[in-house]
Amino acid sequence: GIWVDSRYRSDLVLSEVKTLLVSAFAFEQRTFGQGVTAAEVTALIQAVDGVQAVNLEALYLTGTTQELKSSLEARLAIWNSETKQALPAQLLLLNSQTDGVSLHLV
């Protein structure tokens, strides 16, 4: 949840938070093998004018249990000598199918 200062319009603050998160976790802003931490997400949200506090409720990979993970790891490309195959690098982005962001006021 997000607590918004009463001097700000809640709808505008939430819109700015969503825009910031979509931008920060866009393909152009991330690198292969770069993880994501709950602290990073919280800091981004708290940097928005009008946000008083944040209670991050979930951070998880698509297809896994919806829970609050302290961090999400992404691997770099590696060679698997047993299977003689390259395992591709991972790039963590917001899930575009679900819009990746769910915000609510507290």
35 to 6, 14, 59, 103: CA distances (angstroms): 34, 24, 12, 22
29-50 average pLDDT score: 97
Residue 93 lies in a domain: no
Residue 103 lies in a domain: no
The residue segments making up the domain with residue 66 are 2-87
Give yes or no for a contact between 32 and 90, defined as CB atoms under 8 angstroms apart.
yes
Tally of domains in the chain: 1
pLDDT digit string (tens) for 50-85? 999 999 999 999 899 999 999 999 999 999 999 999
Residue 55 lies in a domain: yes
Question: Structure pTM?
Answer: 0.85
Residue 16 lies in a domain: yes
Residue 63 lies in a domain: yes
Give yes or no for a contact between 22 and 37, defined as CB atoms under 8 angstroms apart.
no
Nearest to 101 by CA among 52, 58, 72: 58
With bands split at pLDDT 50, 70 and 90, how would you rate the model's confidence at 104?
confident
Residue 104 lies in a domain: no
Residue 92 lies in a domain: no
Residue 94 lies in a domain: no
